Amino acid sequence: MNQQLAHGGDEAAVRGLVEEAADGLMLGIPAAEYRAWPDWSQSAVKLLPGGPELFHGYHVAKPPLYVRPKTAAMDTGTILHACCLEGVSLEHFIIPAEVLSASGSRAGTAWKAWEAARGDTPAIKANEAFPLRKMLGSVFAEPQAAKLLRAPGPIEVCKQWRHAKTGLPMKLRADKIAELKDTRVAIDLKSTRDPTERGFARACFDLGYHRQAAWYLDGLCGADTPIDRLWPFVFIAVRNEPPYECFVWELSARSIDLGRQENDAALADLATRLETDNWHGPQFGKVNMIDLPKWAFTRGENL
């Protein structure tokens, strides 16, 4: 871990950061308002390299061709963030027994009235809260995770800027910027199936977390900032199933550098596609050769 992370928080540094909001860092922006900004987010652009048609359907077509359904995993993430970052009690998300039907289902007049009053706030039944209780307990039992989450510093930090090479408008919403004595640390809280080094490294690659880190740090620190001058980017990763353990990982400089390169390539591709209105993948219009995976041939040799 970066040696700078060994130091405690500095309240004066936090006040300085809040004052810097006029320079582009925005605090207190509701999530719905942030999502309505037309700028490009990393969560949107990460879809483009692997699926330009899907990207177009979600993020370019007006109206969108597809709408992403809410999932239980998304609700878990929202609740985990609210409890860890904002200090909201888990009880706030538990459905009162009296608004459920006699069979315990989400139905009936009382449920509909309660649901309407909640709006977009996720809700779970009392018997569904156990995993989240274990995850929360694990996060705050991990010393480094607890230290970073309790350190001074703003949460849900937003920024808008333009990509220097393409001019595309960009945005970010960082979970937290922890203010330590010698540095700022960008914090991202993740629930995951495997927070161990091998499992989470694979998730970082498969889910593009290294591109997320590079995107956020370029927005927060400046895209021309040398890799070794960027703030540390730290993931607090907690397993979403037994044994619910938590690990704290600082992403390596070379991983962030790769993320920068991949982001630049994706944004260059996006700029070209927006200009040409071509949303086909590289296989479109061709007879493409396909081969079995390498392991299939190794397996065949042993038959």
User: Is the model more confident about 123 or about 5?
Assistant: 123
Question: What pLDDT, on the 0 to 100 scale, is given for residue 176?
Answer: 97
Ordered alpha helix ranges (H), the chain:
11-19, 31-36, 42-45, 52-59, 72-85, 109-118, 130-141, 143-150, 197-206, 209-221, 253-276, 294-301
Quote the pLDDT of residue 23: 59
Q: Of 121, 55, 59, 58, which Cα lies nearest the Cα of 93?
A: 121
Owner of token pair 């919403």: 173
What are the tens digits of pLDDT across the range 152-205?
999 999 999 999 999 999 999 999 999 998 889 999 999 999 999 999 999 999
Segment 284-301, tens digit of pLDDT: 999 999 999 989 888 656
Topology of the domain comprising 3-58+129-278? Lambda Exonuclease; Chain A (3.90.320)
Please check the confidence at residue 130 and state whether its pLDDT lies above 90: yes
Domain ranges (residues) in the chain: 3-58+129-278
**Rounded distance between C-alpha atoms, residue 163 and residue 268, angstroms:** 10
pLDDT at 301: 61
pLDDT for 120 = 85
The predicted pLDDT at position 152 comes to 96
Q: What's the order of all strands across the beta sheet hosting 233-239?
A: 25-26, 155-162, 169-179, 184-192, 233-239, 246-250
Answer whether residue 17 shows pLDDT above 70: no
Q: How far apart are CA 23 and CA 15, in angstroms?
A: 14
Report the pLDDT value the prediction gives residue 8, as an integer from 0 to 100: 39
Tokens encoding 134? 């274990």
pTM: 0.87
Whether the pLDDT of residue 272 is over 60: the answer is yes
The string of pLDDT tens digits covering residues 60-116 is: 999 999 988 888 888 999 999 999 999 999 999 999 999 999 888 998 899 999 999
Average pLDDT, the chain: 90
Angle between helices 209-221 and 253-276 (to 10 degrees): 90
